[in-house]
């Protein structure tokens, strides 16, 4: 069941909210959180009971490891061994369930033999709930977590707004909200802000993202079946996919954050107008922010710190310093982040593109010492982003290479007879959509800026938010409710057989 | 040397441009590489060593100040001149 279905919006959400209020009234916050934990497991079981069993096993194993680490915290060798065993168990389970068949393919290619695939269930959200819990184990080892009530832990690891596709929460931002709650469960303004965030996310998904999908699919599926597309069609298809992914995933994230606000547990922001970035480093501070935070904390920083400590107090050349403290950490981090998205060479190359781009940016900023002019920086950043997402979306590297060749050859590879993909592709409508939606992402405030008066997320807002929202700044007034009601009407009318959230596959 | 001045030197900025809220989002030149360089410069100036969990928790200048104070670095060394032993 997805957030943008009639069943969820009209039945599940109202029933859950009523149950949450009743549990709070009868049993206080502790009861409300236990209710939410059980409701989250029930929500997840709608996919399948087998997947629920895998999630529950993951929760029980990680909770046990966390408590063992806490128990042995005075003996750092035992605690470290437990941390390594716990993180290792998570990674092994993830690799087995998600990457086994990819590794079998790689082994088959190397050995020039055919190996049969395994029949495996890939649990929805496994990359997310596994990484959330790895973060918990690391922070527990670091002395930043305390022993938790089991049902609080269940809620942290399986909270229904974020169990399927994030945001990747940190234990401290969830448990701190569960501890010592005093405020009432029913806060009309917070509820209204959360509902507004949810509706804006729903609108982004079912109106914007689903409108773009056919244009992206026509190009990518057409080229994958051996057809040729010209430069303009290739660019329009690629930009359509870039915008589709943004509206889909940021729409999902807004809905998740809105649900968190409705149920009294605020979630971190995941997007912050990424297409306004004028360099690639800034882009990753604005795109899938909780993933960037995770990989920065647990991959980039340890490698960079290790590199810096290696050369501390020694005379090394600038190139070696740059390699150890910037280039290698960036490339390794994005390679891991690419592979985290899925099993396939396209994700490996996607990660490497961004790893090298970040490494080059860090080298440039250190060597030249100042930024490029904004327009040049923006064009370069968006070229890397759109080209990278071609590799990310393509079913294989051959398809990606053909689309990129069409995009960057500027007509040099033009063929006399365009394929069905080009004939089916309505360039006028695609161009109009790209211009309208591109203008929205570049010039309009984002959802958290519109709601800046009400803390809908667990993150502080940037100081510029109030200025950027201007007249669109939301307040709980009659006018705002009419506007949000209109958005909801259009969104409800647009819910169709559209796709599931794109990030459900990761 | 003041903490703000140490950070400003790494970021090639005027120390007056920095406050405890300064971070990678709101401060020019503060990228992931300079973040690591800032941490090492502070370690070197105040003769402390941050643990990995401390390093990952340092998001802005105020965080660095708080961790230094928690490490019993003398307040005048944090707010005023660092007395190099």
Whether A170 contacts A135, CB under 8 Å: yes
Residue A257 clears pLDDT 50, i.e. is over it: yes
For residue B50, give the CATH number of its domain: 1.10.1200.10
How much is the pLDDT for B85? 37
pLDDT digits (tens, 9 = 90+) for A100-116: 888 888 888 888 888 88
How much is the pLDDT for A109? 85
Say if B51 is an interface residue toward chain A (CB within 8 Å): yes
Residues of chain A with C-beta less than 8 angstroms from the C-beta of B37 = 308, 325
Identify the residue among B9, B23, B32, B36 best suited for mutation to test binding to A, counting A beta carbons within 10 A and taking the highest: B32
Say which residue, B38 or A356, is predicted with more confidence.
A356
Q: How many CB atoms lie within 10 A of CB A442?
A: 11
Lowest mean pLDDT among A201-205, A350-354, A414-418, B65-69: A414-418
Using CA of residue A441, residue A271, residue A305, residue A127, what is the dihedral sign? negative
Which residues does A35 contact at the CB level (< 8 Å), separation at least 6?
Answer: A19, A20, A23, A27
CB-nearest partner of A281 from B32, B40, B55: B32
CB within 8 Å: B26 and A463: yes
Percent of chain A with pLDDT over 70: 95
How much is the pLDDT for A428? 87
> Would residue B84 count as lying in a domain?
no
> How far is the C-alpha of A108 from the C-alpha of A357, rounded, in Å?
32
Whether A365 contacts B31, CB under 8 Å: yes
> Would residue B53 count as lying in a domain?
yes
CB within 8 Å: A362 and B29: no
How much is the pLDDT for A82? 96
pLDDT digits (tens, 9 = 90+) for B22-42: 888 788 888 888 888 888 889
Q: How many CB atoms lie within 10 A of CB A264?
A: 23
Which residues does A416 contact at the CB level (< 8 Å), separation at least 6?
Answer: none
How many helices (H) and strands (E) would you count in chain B? Answer: 5, 0
**Where do the structural domains in chain A lie, given as residue ranges?**
6-186, 189-275+398-505, 279-371
Question: Chains A, B: CB contacts under 8 A, how many?
Answer: 51
Domain extent for B65: 3-79
End-to-end CA distance of chain B: 13
Whether A395 contacts A224, CB under 8 Å: yes
Lowest mean pLDDT among A337-341, A376-380, B14-18: B14-18
> Would residue B54 count as lying in a domain?
yes
How much is the pLDDT for A18? 96
C-alpha distance from A160 to closest chain B C-alpha (Å): 27
How much is the pLDDT for A133? 97
Catalytic residue list of A: 341
Both tokens of A142, joined, read: 């670091």
Say which residue, A215 or A498, is predicted with more confidence.
A215
Residue A467 clears pLDDT 70, i.e. is over it: no
How much is the pLDDT for A498? 61
Buried b / exposed e along B35-72 (16+ C-beta atoms within 10 A): bbbbbbbbbebbeeebeeebbbbbebbeebbebbeeee
pLDDT digits (tens, 9 = 90+) for A157-171: 999 999 989 899 999
Say if B17 is an interface residue toward chain A (CB within 8 Å): no
Binned at pLDDT 50, 70 and 90, residue A500 comes out as confident
How much is the pLDDT for B74? 57
Q: What share of chain B is helix, strand, coil (3-state, %, to 5)?
A: 55, 0, 40
**Mean predicted confidence (pLDDT) in A309-324:** 85
> Would residue B85 count as lying in a domain?
no
CB within 8 Å: B33 and A296: no
> Would residue B27 count as lying in a domain?
yes
Both tokens of B44, joined, read: 């070197």
> How far is the C-alpha of A274 from the C-alpha of A286, rounded, in Å?
5
CB within 8 Å: B33 and A143: no
Whether A210 contacts A245, CB under 8 Å: no
Residue B49 clears pLDDT 80, i.e. is over it: yes
Residue B79 clears pLDDT 70, i.e. is over it: no
Say if A460 is an interface residue toward chain B (CB within 8 Å): no
Residues of chain A with C-beta less than 8 angstroms from the C-beta of B39 = 305
Residue B43 clears pLDDT 60, i.e. is over it: yes
CB-nearest partner of B52 from A305, A358, A369: A305
Residue B11 clears pLDDT 60, i.e. is over it: yes
**Mean predicted confidence (pLDDT) in A267-289:** 94
**Mean predicted confidence (pLDDT) in A46-62:** 94
Mean pLDDT of chain A: 90
**Mean predicted confidence (pLDDT) in A358-387:** 89
Residues of chain A with C-beta less than 8 angstroms from the C-beta of B24 = 285
**Mean predicted confidence (pLDDT) in A9-30:** 94
Residues of chain B with C-beta less than 8 angstroms from the C-beta of A358 = 32
Residue A52 clears pLDDT 60, i.e. is over it: yes
Both tokens of A421, joined, read: 């993909």
Residues of chain A with C-beta less than 8 angstroms from the C-beta of B57 = 144
Domain count, chain B: 1
Both tokens of A71, joined, read: 């128990």
How much is the pLDDT for A445? 92
How much is the pLDDT for A208? 94
Residue A214 clears pLDDT 80, i.e. is over it: yes
Residue A292 clears pLDDT 50, i.e. is over it: yes
How much is the pLDDT for A152? 94
Say if B1 is an interface residue toward chain A (CB within 8 Å): no
Binned at pLDDT 50, 70 and 90, residue A497 comes out as low
Percent of chain A with pLDDT over 90: 65
CB-nearest partner of B32 from A300, A302, A312: A300
Residue B83 clears pLDDT 50, i.e. is over it: no
CB within 8 Å: B29 and A365: yes
Say if B75 is an interface residue toward chain A (CB within 8 Å): no
How much is the pLDDT for A42? 95
Identify the residue among A134, A172, A273, A301 best suited for mutation to test binding to B, counting B beta carbons within 10 A and taking the highest: A301
Residues of chain A with C-beta less than 8 angstroms from the C-beta of B36 = 301, 304-305, 308, 325
- CA-based nearest residue to A277, from A269, A267, A288: A288
Lowest mean pLDDT among A258-267, A362-371, A379-388: A362-371
Query: What's phi and psi for B77, nearest 5 deg?
Result: -80, -30
Q: What share of chain A is helix, strand, coil (3-state, %, to 5)?
A: 75, 0, 25
Q: How many CB atoms lie within 10 A of CB A298?
A: 19
Residue A26 clears pLDDT 80, i.e. is over it: yes
Say if B52 is an interface residue toward chain A (CB within 8 Å): yes
Residue A255 clears pLDDT 60, i.e. is over it: yes
Say if A361 is an interface residue toward chain B (CB within 8 Å): yes
Query: ∠ at Cα A357 (A354, A359), nearest 5°?
Result: 110
Say which residue, A119 or A218, is predicted with more confidence.
A218
pLDDT digits (tens, 9 = 90+) for A296-307: 999 999 999 999
- CA-based nearest residue to A8, from A266, A268, A206, A207: A206
How does DSSP assign A26-65, residue by residue?
Answer: HHHHHHHHHHHHHHHHHHHHTT-HHHHHHHHHHHHHHHHH
Q: Is B60 helix (H, G, I), strand (E, B) or coil?
A: strand
Residue A482 clears pLDDT 80, i.e. is over it: yes
How much is the pLDDT for B41? 87
The model's pTM is 0.90
């Amino acid at each position: 069941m997805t957030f943008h279905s009639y069943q969820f919006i009209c039945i599940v959400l109202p029933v859950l909210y009523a149950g949450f209020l009743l549990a709070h009234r009868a049993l206080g916050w502790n009861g409300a959180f236990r209710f939410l934990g059980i409701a989250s497991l029930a929500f997840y079981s709608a996919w399948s009971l087998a997947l629920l069993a895998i999630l529950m096993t993951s929760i029980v194993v990680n909770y046990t490891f966390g408590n063992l680490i806490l128990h042995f915290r005075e003996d750092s060798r035992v605690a470290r061994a437990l941390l390594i065993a716990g993180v290792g168990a998570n990674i092994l389970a993830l690799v087995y369930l998600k990457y086994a068949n990819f590794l079998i393919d790689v082994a088959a290619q190397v050995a020039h033999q055919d190996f049969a695939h395994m029949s495996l269930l890939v649990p929805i959200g496994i990359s997310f709930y596994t990484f959330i819990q790895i973060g918990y184990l690391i922070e527990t080892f670091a002395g930043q977590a305390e022993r938790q009530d089991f049902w609080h832990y269940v809620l942290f690891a399986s909270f229904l707004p974020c169990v399927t596709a994030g945001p990747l929460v940190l234990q401290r931002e969830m448990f701190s909200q569960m501890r010592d709650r005093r405020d009432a469960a029913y806060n009309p303004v917070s509820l209204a802000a959360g509902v507004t965030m949810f509706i804006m996310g729903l609108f982004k998904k079912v109106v914007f993202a689903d409108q773009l999908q056919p244009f992206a699919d026509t190009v990518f599926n057409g080229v994958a079946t051996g057809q040729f597309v010209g430069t303009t069609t290739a660019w329009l298809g690629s930009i359509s996919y870039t915008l589709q992914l943004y509206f889909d995933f940021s729409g999902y994230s807004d809905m998740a954050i809105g649900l968190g606000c409705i149920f009294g547990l605020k979630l971190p922001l995941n997007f912050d107008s990424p297409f306004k970035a004028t360099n690639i480093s800034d882009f990753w501070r604005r795109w899938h922010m909780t993933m960037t935070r995770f990989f920065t904390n647990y991959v980039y920083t340890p490698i960079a710190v290790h590199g810096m400590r290696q050369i501390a107090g020694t005379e090394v050349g600038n190139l070696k310093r740059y390699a150890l403290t910037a280039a290698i950490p960036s490339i390794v981090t994005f390679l891991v982040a690419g592979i985290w998205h899925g099993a396939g060479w396209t994700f490996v190359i996607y990660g490497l593109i961004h790893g090298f781009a970040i490494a080059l940016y860090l080298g440039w900023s250190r060597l030249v010492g100042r930024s490029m002019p904004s327009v040049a920086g923006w064009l370069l950043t968006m070229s890397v982003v759109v080209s990278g997402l071609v590799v990310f979306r393509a079913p294989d590297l051959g398809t990606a290479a053909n689309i990129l060749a069409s995009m960057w050859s500027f007509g040099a590879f033009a063929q006399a007879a365009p394929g069905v993909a080009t004939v089916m592709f309505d360039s006028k409508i695609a161009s109009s959509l790209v211009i309208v939606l591109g203008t929205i992402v570049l010039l309009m405030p984002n959802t958290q800026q519109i709601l800046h008066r009400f803390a809908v997320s667990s993150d502080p807002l940037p100081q510029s938010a109030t200025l950027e929202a201007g007249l669109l700044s939301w307040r709980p007034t009659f006018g705002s409710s009419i506007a949000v009601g209109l958005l909801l009407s259009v969104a409800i009318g647009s819910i169709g057989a559209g796709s599931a959230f794109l990030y459900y596959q990761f | 040397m003041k903490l703000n001045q140490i950070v400003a030197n790494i970021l090639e900025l005027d120390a007056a441009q920095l406050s405890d809220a300064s971070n990678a989002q709101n401060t020019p030149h503060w990228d992931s590489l300079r973040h690591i360089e800032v941490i090492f410069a502070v370690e070197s100036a105040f003769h402390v060593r941050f643990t990995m969990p401390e390093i990952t928790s340092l998001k802005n200048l105020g965080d660095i100040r708080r961790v230094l104070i928690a490490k019993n670095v003398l307040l005048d060394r944090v707010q005023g001149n660092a007395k190099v032993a």
